[in-house]
């Protein structure tokens, strides 16, 4: 990237520019608008509602009456969710399974593929293009496509396995003990390519002299990878970790098109959404669910954002 | 896979440790095994799509009689024509355009404003703001969904802007949330890029008495063409592929963009697998165009956010 060259050039001052005092009042006003309007939009539509979720989670409200019908409920919503709301624990469990699966399977496979494709073999581009094609598709369309693949009698997989007879059908998406895993395979189909691209870019930026030095020292290519290349990929590893976590907490579209997130496919995101688009709109309840999801997300987001901005402070 | 029987036993580690620049000649069996593995993987990744294409090209009568897992008697584009006409897909593409185009322009402009002010000037709270933007972009949408839904129902709009008279169920609302949400990522990427532009370049403009805005417009923005192109490609794909916002914040099914509308159309118009396959592929076409025409920008965008991290 050109940016890295520019960064290295001695003419680029490293410190923060100090030009503010030379600005005219008009320039200050323009800058104020350039920051103010976007900041207002972002804070007003992202952080304000997120904060609103936290507040509303301690209340009872049907969302239909005016704001004066909001009642304080303390921790009631949370207590009910934990003790008296059957889909909650399965949903949380599915989210955790999704997260762990995403962190282990597509990431490892994506890294493995990137390492193979980085070996400068013929046709590398062609293989890459095939593997990352699913990245372009929306998770909703991924859901549709895999419904065709998993269809019990007409689907690709059962037909290949020869399990289309009435007695030995495998109902990949209908069987609650199976469907989460089937969906995870479908979601990974899209995620692997994404991870592969990130690692390929990372591998290209690893200084070749590092590998040469390792080779001269007599390291096997496996040793060189684990002791030299992989540590150099640390920034990419962090990004991969974050996108995998975020994507698994955001998972919604694919289960929603398959069966609206029921019967083994419950997720926290679905429960929150059902509290709005569903028949019974219970604002406080839905908000409490959202706060649980928010808390899990922030436990990953905060350390990540701190790490990327530490150097800039 | 007897070809891979080497001391270490696995494909990836058998290649001798030569510098990556030089094409490797040695260890042919390992190379061949690697090619077989990659070809198999690539094919498995294409298989679900190829299956969908195949299903979409077969007339329903053919598959009803012989099953989906059979050789074709006849192939054609009737399913595409049927899906297109029955569900009036053109209309939904129009809805998508109505959301995507304004969103793209607004996101890129507003993000470049903030990125410029944050990266080229020092003022109290500029890093804090950047942190807020970056973190906001990573939140799961459901974390803000419930209050947003209520807010959208409270904020009035004139009838000329929204026939629901509120932001809820209007394009303005969908565009606004996309802009607010996506700005985080774009600002982060653009500010990192702008930081690398040497100050000498704006120095001359300052000497000429150029205002803050002129420096942005005539010096900085033109230099940001590469990241802007990459971000435009990426954001187009993301906004196009959005399913949730329009599902929840757009009540009228007829007004939903194509990705969100697909769920409703299934079962109503798309009653068999052949039609579902055709409709899914039709809905994927714009992103596939990006895939074929703008692959470099797309990948550049994906890795741009990561390279700095």
Residues in chain B within 8 Å Cβ distance of A52: 144, 146-147, 150-151
Q: Please, are residues B299 and B288 in contact by the beta-carbon 8 Å criterion? A: no
Q: What confidence score (pLDDT) does residue B304 get?
A: 74
pLDDT digits (tens, 9 = 90+) for A201-247: 999 888 888 888 888 888 888 888 888 899 989 889 988 999 999 99
Question: Beta partners for B266?
Answer: B270
Q: What confidence score (pLDDT) does residue A97 get?
A: 96
Residue B160 sits at the chain A interface (C-beta within 8 Å): no
CB contact under 8 A, A130 and B45: yes
CA distance B2 to chain A (A): 19
Helix (H, G, I), strand (E, B) or coil at A71: strand
Domain assignment of residue A174, given as a range? 88-286
CB contact under 8 A, B17 and A219: yes
Average pLDDT, integer, range A28-53: 94
Residues in chain B within 8 Å Cβ distance of A7: 196
The residue among B18, B143, B198 with the most chain A CBs within 10 A of its CB, best to mutate, is B143
Residues in chain A within 8 Å Cβ distance of B234: none
Pairwise CA distance, residues A259 & A113, whole Å: 32
Average pLDDT, integer, range A184-194: 96
Q: Is A74 left (phi over 0), alpha (psi -120 to 50) or beta?
A: left
Residue B23 sits at the chain A interface (C-beta within 8 Å): yes
For residue A135, give the DSSP letter: G
Pairwise CA distance, residues B115 & B189, whole Å: 8
In a domain, A41, yes or no: no
Band (A284; pLDDT cuts 50, 70, 90): confident
Q: What confidence score (pLDDT) does residue B187 get?
A: 94
pLDDT digits (tens, 9 = 90+) for A237-266: 988 999 999 999 999 999 999 998 888 999
Q: Please, are residues B280 and A209 in contact by the beta-carbon 8 Å criterion? A: no
Pairwise CA distance, residues B50 & B46, whole Å: 6
Nearest CA in chain A to B212: A27
**Partner-chain residue, chosen from A219, A257, A269, that has the shortest CB–CB distance to B142:** A269
CB contact under 8 A, A137 and B134: no
Q: Is the predicted pLDDT of residue A18 greater than 60, yes or no? A: no
Q: Which string of DSSP letters, residue by residue, matches A232-298?
A: HTHHHHHHHHHHHHHHHHH--HHHHHHHSS-TT---HHHHHHHHHHSSS--HHHHHHHHHHHHHHHH
Residues in chain B within 8 Å Cβ distance of A156: 47-48, 51, 69
Token digits of residue A268: 């926290």
Domain parsing of chain B, residue ranges: 91-308
Residue spans of chain B under pLDDT 50: 1-23, 308-309
What b-and-e string marks burial along B75-110, b requiring 16 or more CB atoms within 10 Å of the CB? eeebbbebbbeebebeebbebbeebbebbbebbbbb
Each as own residue / partner, the long-range contacts of residues A277-280 (CB below 8 Å, 24 or more positions apart, any chain) are: A277/B247, A277/B248
Residues in chain A within 8 Å Cβ distance of B71: none
User: ipTM score here?
Assistant: 0.87
In a domain, A76, yes or no: no
Q: What confidence score (pLDDT) does residue B26 get?
A: 57
Q: Please, are residues A197 and B302 in contact by the beta-carbon 8 Å criterion? A: yes
Helix (H, G, I), strand (E, B) or coil at A195: helix
CB contact under 8 A, A140 and B45: no
CATH of B91-308, one of 1.10.3720.10, 3.40.50.300, 3.40.1280.10, 1.20.1050.10: 1.10.3720.10
Chain centre to alpha carbon of residue B142: 19
Q: Please, are residues A141 and B259 in contact by the beta-carbon 8 Å criterion? A: yes
CA distance B56 to chain A (A): 11
Q: Is the predicted pLDDT of residue A141 greater than 60, yes or no? A: yes
CB contact under 8 A, A34 and B114: yes
Residues in chain A within 8 Å Cβ distance of B68: 151, 154-155, 159
Pairwise CA distance, residues B43 & B48, whole Å: 9
Q: What is the CATH number of the domain that holds A105?
A: 1.10.3720.10
pLDDT cut 90: percent of chain A above it: 54
Q: What confidence score (pLDDT) does residue B305 get?
A: 66
pLDDT digits (tens, 9 = 90+) for B107-159: 999 999 999 999 988 888 888 999 999 999 999 999 999 899 989 988 888 88
Q: What confidence score (pLDDT) does residue B227 get?
A: 92
Average pLDDT, integer, range A282-288: 88
Residue B307 sits at the chain A interface (C-beta within 8 Å): yes
Query: Mean pLDDT over all residues of chain A?
Result: 87
For residue A121, give the DSSP letter: -
Q: How many CB atoms lie within 10 A of CB A18?
A: 9
**Partner-chain residue, chosen from A18, A145, A215, that has the shortest CB–CB distance to B280:** A145
In a domain, A142, yes or no: yes
pLDDT digits (tens, 9 = 90+) for A94-111: 999 999 999 999 999 999
Token digits of residue B61: 């009568």
Q: Which string of DSSP letters, residue by residue, matches chain B?
A: -GGG-STT-SSTT-S----TTSPP-S-HHHHHHHHHHHHHHHHHHHHHHHHHHHHHHS-HHHHHHH-SSS--S---SHHHHHHHHHTTHHHHHHHHHHHHHHHHHHHHHHHHHHHHHHHHS--TTHHHHHHHHHHHHHS-THHHHHHHHHHHHHSB--TTT-TTSBSTTSHHHHHHHHHHHHHHHHHHHHHHHHHTS-THHHHHHHHTT--HHHIIIIIIHHHTHHHHHHHHHHHHHHHHT--HHHHHH---GGGS-HHHHHHHHBTTTB-SHHHHHHHHHHHHHHHHHHHHHSHHHHHHHHHHHHHH-
Nearest CA in chain B to A152: B68
CA distance B160 to chain A (A): 22
Pairwise CA distance, residues A8 & A134, whole Å: 36
CB contact under 8 A, A308 and B309: yes
């Amino acid at each position: 990237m050109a940016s890295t060259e520019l960064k290295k050039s001695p003419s680029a001052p490293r410190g923060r520019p100090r030009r503010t005092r030379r600005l005219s009042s008009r320039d200050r006003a323009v800058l104020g608008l350039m920051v103010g309007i976007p900041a207002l939009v972002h804070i007003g539509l992202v952080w304000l509602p997120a904060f609103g979720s936290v507040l509303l989670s301690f209340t009872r409200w049907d969302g239909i009456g005016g704001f004066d019908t909001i009642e304080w409920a303390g921790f009631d919503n949370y207590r009910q969710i934990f003790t008296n709301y059957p889909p909650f624990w399965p949903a949380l469990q599915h989210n955790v399974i999704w997260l762990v699966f995403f962190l282990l399977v597509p990431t490892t496979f994506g890294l493995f593929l990137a390492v193979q494709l980085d070996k400068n073999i013929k046709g590398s581009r062609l293989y890459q293009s095939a593997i990352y094609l699913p990245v372009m598709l929306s998770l909703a369309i991924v859901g549709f496509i895999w419904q065709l693949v998993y269809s019990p009698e007409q689907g690709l997989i059962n037909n290949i396995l020869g399990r289309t007879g009435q007695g030995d059908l495998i109902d990949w998406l209908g069987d609650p003990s199976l469907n989460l895993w089937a969906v995870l395979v479908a979601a990974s189909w899209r995620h692997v390519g994404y991870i592969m691209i990130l690692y390929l870019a990372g591998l290209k930026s690893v200084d070749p002299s590092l590998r040469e030095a390792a080779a001269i020292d007599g390291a096997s290519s496996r040793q060189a990878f684990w002791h030299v290349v992989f540590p150099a990929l640390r920034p990419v590893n962090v990004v991969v970790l974050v996108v995998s976590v975020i994507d698994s907490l955001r998972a919604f579209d694919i289960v929603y098109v398959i069966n609206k997130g029921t019967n083994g496919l419950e997720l926290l995101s679905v429960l929150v959404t059902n509290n709005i688009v569903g028949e019974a709109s219970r604002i406080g309840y839905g908000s409490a669910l959202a706060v649980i999801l928010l808390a899990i997300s922030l436990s990953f987001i905060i350390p990540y954002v701190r790490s990327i901005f530490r150097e800039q402070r | 896979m007897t070809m891979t029987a080497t001391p270490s036993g696995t494909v990836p580690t058998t290649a001798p440790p030569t510098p990556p620049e030089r094409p490797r000649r040695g260890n042919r069996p390992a190379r061949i095994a690697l090619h077989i593995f990659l070809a198999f993987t690539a094919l498995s990744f294409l298989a679900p799509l190829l299956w969908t294409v195949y299903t979409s090209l077969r007339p329903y009568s053919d598959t009803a009689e012989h099953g989906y897992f059979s050789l074709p008697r006849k192939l054609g584009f009737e399913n595409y024509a049927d899906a297109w006409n029955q569900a009036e897909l053109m209309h939904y593409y129009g809805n998508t355009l109505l959301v995507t185009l304004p969103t793209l322009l607004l996101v890129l402009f507003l993000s470049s404003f903030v990125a410029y002010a944050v990266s080229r000037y020092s003022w109290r709270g500029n890093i804090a703001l950047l942190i807020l933007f970056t973190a906001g972009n990573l939140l799961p949408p459901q974390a803000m969904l419930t209050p947003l839904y209520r807010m959208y129902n409270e904020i009035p709009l004139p009838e000329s802007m929204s026939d629901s008279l509120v932001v809820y169920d209007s394009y303005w609302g969908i565009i606004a949330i996309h802009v607010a949400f996506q700005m985080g990522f774009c600002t982060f990427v653009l500010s990192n890029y702008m930081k690398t532009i040497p100050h000498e370049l704006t120095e001359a403009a300052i000497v000429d008495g150029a205002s803050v805005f002129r420096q942005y417009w005539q010096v900085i923005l033109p230099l940001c063409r590469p990241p802007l192109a990459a971000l435009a490609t990426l954001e187009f794909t993301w906004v196009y592929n959005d399913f949730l916002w329009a599902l929840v914040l757009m009540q009228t099914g007829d007004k939903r963009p194509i990705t969100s509308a697909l769920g409703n159309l299934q079962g109503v118009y798309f009653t068999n697998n052949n039609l579902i396959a055709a409709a899914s592929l039709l809905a994927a076409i714009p992103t596939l165009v990006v895939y074929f025409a703008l692959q470099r920008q797309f990948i550049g965008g994906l890795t741009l956010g990561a390279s700095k991290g």
